Amino acid sequence: MEKMEKNSFLPINRYDMEQRGWGEPDFVYVTGDAYVDHPSFGVAIISRVLENAGFKVAILSQPDYKSAEAFKEFGRPRLGFLVTSGNIDSMVAHYTVSKKKRSYDYYSAGGKMGNRPDRAVIVYCNRIREAYGDVPIIIGGLEASLRRFAHYDYWDGKIRRSILVDSRADILSYGMGEKSVLRIAELLDKGVPVKKIRDIKGTAYLCKADEKIHYECAGGFDYNDLKEDKKKYADAFALQYRENDYINGKAVVEYYDGKMLVQNPPMPPLEREELDKVYSLPFTRAYHPIYKKEGGVPGINEVEFSITHNRGCFGACNFCAIAFHQGRSVRSRSIDSVLEEAKKITEMEGFKGYIHDVGGPTANFRYPSCQLQKEHGVCKNKKCLAPTPCKNLKVSHTEYLDMLSRIEKLDGVKKVFIRSGIRFDYLMLDKDEKFFKKLVKDHVSGQLKVAPEHCSSAVLKMMGKPDFSVYEGFRKRFFELTKGMGKEQYLVPYLMSSHPGSTLRDAVELALYLKKSGYSPEQVQDFYPTPGTASTVMYYTGLDPFTGKKVYVAREYEEKIMQRALLQWNRRENYPIVRKALTSCGRTDLIGFGNDCLVPPERTGATVKKTENRGRGFNKNEKSKAPLKGKNVRKKR
């Protein structure tokens, strides 16, 4: 490959390509996001991995999708097109949980909406087919990965076919795709026809129903049955989930009118040395200069001075897609690799001494959950942390603590914060409080975001979360340590309304807890059914896919509004909705002026006297009367 100036961006148009002396690229990488060359962006990682292997990659960012012309910018690539919607699903990027159009796009220049289409992967692939016919197309990223099988689509309200069928792509790379995409590239470069590439782990493809499969397989559900039979759909998801393990997972098949979808077993995760190599590649760590006039790309603001030290999550919450995408097997980078990245950050323009995060899917995981998992794979029918911790779980924060301490000692570093999610249940299992104390003393920027999600045992069970008593123990100890260190710090708990299993009575229980604790959330996350999660299966089918038992689901818009309002019970604009909710579930005893009441009675003409302070903006934990600072902004899952 031609030697280029260190840390230069990859070509984004024909002029850039010709400046490099290329007659054609090996791959054109089409993305629904603005081009950001930072290791928190999937496009940056995959393109740099291919570049490091000697392949010429051109980036076609947010092309005009209304015709095929924009997809001819670089001409026909020598080996094929790579296609992704970007860092998140395009439908999630465009619509709120109430299916209203969003007004801001974090992954487009200036936050401008409308630069990518709905269902971007499908649209892009079909435009490529219009432009170049049978050119090889490989799809990947979150949208493709989580839609690799027949899936419930919240926005259509029905079961959609695998994205491979609708996109007409040749191969789907699911999960973290460095190894699988590189292997595809090598085979294409050797002249192997794309239709003959069938044995790469971490990929899925469509073929004739009688074609030989390279691996032992499971499944065999038919799309026509899945779209009509909710029980079969739930069973299909449970099987897919169980086989999503690189050690003992089988190939999974699904049928579509004479064709067969084959998902090969997962690709083994990158081990420490491999991860270190990926993160040592020459990322510019910035958005492309063409976006500067529009104010840049907002999505980089949270991660510009942050470090990802791990991948995977054995927490496996039911509403989270990480288990289905990155997997439950945790891997982490070496401390030396992380330190090298931290040194690069200290040399960046605009760095003021603060590392904003050293985290990942779950910040305080560094290794697989136990030795057995490393040898035999993840357990198919139980989780590591919920409803109770596995007896084989290995708990240690020693290496994470050492890494944070060494970063702090680097020249130019004033403070290292942790803003990724901390699994407080895992933290509480550690008998050595050194990390807990260090976290409270040095790594909280005023507020620590944690995710109890709810207080109802029934709801937490459906979420795959620990009992609420675990959070209460963590909360108590956090404030004891905070007070003992003479600090003024707060917890910002993530809370979710209308998750499957949550009734109005459960929402009332949470509202009462919030009043008692003196916490009034600025924002509440309504449950958002997105592809690839067990909770979404529950929402659609009314069944727990792992047990087959029925689950209550709040589907009606009015009930969702009531559950949400109950979590923000003290807002005057919510009083009428809260009264209606309390009446609906037989809790009119909570309407009045008593200390236990949530809202005052409805005005009847006479002026209702002012009630006592109802907790808005206050946190009474450990007798603190200080107002909460900032907003409880929930990260995208």
Whether 202 and 326 have beta carbons less than 8 Å apart is answered as: no
Burial of 258: CB neighbours in 10 Å, binned 0-12, 13-18, 19+: exposed
Strands of 447-453's sheet in order across: 447-453, 490-497, 525-526
Mean pLDDT of the chain: 93
Give which of 352, 370, 441 is closest to 401, Cα–Cα.
441
Phi, psi dihedral angles at 444 (to 5 degrees): -110, 125
CA distance 259 to 490: 55
Rounded average pLDDT over 496-507: 97
Confidence check: pLDDT of 1 > 70: no
Is the pLDDT at 3 greater than 60? The verdict is no
Which CATH number is 305-445 given? 3.30.750.210
User: Which segment of 351-355, 479-483, 598-602, 605-609 scores lowest on mean pLDDT?
Assistant: 605-609
**420-443 average pLDDT score:** 96
In tens, the pLDDT along 266-275 reads 999 999 999 9
Q: Which pLDDT band holds residue 618 (cuts at 50, 70, 90)? A: very low
With cut-offs at 50, 70 and 90, classify the pLDDT of residue 6.
very low
Question: Is there a contact between 374 and 392 (Cβ–Cβ < 8 Å)?
Answer: no
Mean per-residue pLDDT, 273-302: 97
- Give tens-digit pLDDT for 238-249: 999 999 999 999
**Mean per-residue pLDDT for 310-327?**
94
Q: What is the pLDDT of residue 605?
A: 56
The architecture in CATH of the region 449-637 reads: 2-Layer Sandwich (3.30)
Q: What is the pLDDT of residue 428?
A: 97
pLDDT band at 603 (very low <50, low <70, confident <90, very high): confident
Single-letter amino acid code for the residue at 567? L
- On the CB side of 618, how many CA atoms lie within 13 Å of its CA? 14
Q: What angle do CA 628, 632, 633 make, to 5 degrees?
A: 150
* CATH 3.30.750.210, the chain: domain bounds: 305-445
Quick one: which H or E segment has residue 526? strand 525-526
- At residue 621, the pLDDT reads 41
Residue ranges matching CATH 3.30.750.200 in the chain? 449-637
Q: What mean pLDDT do residues 134-147 have?
A: 98
CA dihedral 127, 147, 171, 374 (to 10 degrees): 150
Q: Calculate mean pLDDT across residues 167-171.
A: 98
pLDDT grade, residue 206 (50/70/90)? very high
* Residue 7 predicted with pLDDT over 80: no
- In the chain, CATH 3.40.50.280 sits at 14-207
User: pLDDT tens for residues 21-43?
Assistant: 999 999 999 999 999 999 999 99
What lies within 8 Å, CB to CB, of 337 at 6+ separation is: 275, 276, 279, 280
Give the strand pairing for 151-153 and 158-160. antiparallel
Q: Closest Cα partner for 59 from 17, 87, 22? A: 17
Q: What is the pLDDT of residues 383-399, one digit of tens each?
A: 999 999 999 999 999 99
Cα gap 221→235, rounded to integer Å: 9
Residue 580 pLDDT: 97
Comparing C-alpha atoms, which of 61, 77, 80 is closest to residue 184? 80
Question: Over the stretch 405-427, which tens digit does the pLDDT of each residue have?
Answer: 999 999 999 999 999 989 999 99
Residue 251 above 80 pLDDT?
yes
Report DSSP letters for 378-420, one per residue.
S-SS--SSSSS--TT-----HHHHHHHHHHHTSTT--EE---S
pLDDT of 189 higher than 50? yes
Q: Is the predicted pLDDT of residue 341 greater than 90, yes or no?
A: yes
Q: CB of 476 within 8 A of CB of 436?
A: no
pLDDT surpassing 70 at residue 627: no
- What is the per-residue pLDDT for 374? 86
**Lookup: tokens for 150:** 């027949």
Which whole number is the average pLDDT over 126-132? 98
Q: How far apart are CA 260 and CA 206, in angstroms?
A: 6
Q: Cis check for the bond before 529: say yes or no (omega within 30 of 0).
A: no
Rounded CA-CA distance 301/159 in Å is 36
**Distances 18 to 14, 61, 288 between C-alpha atoms, Å:** 6, 18, 18
Q: What is the CATH T-level fold of the domain 14-207, as seen in this structure? A: Rossmann fold (3.40.50)
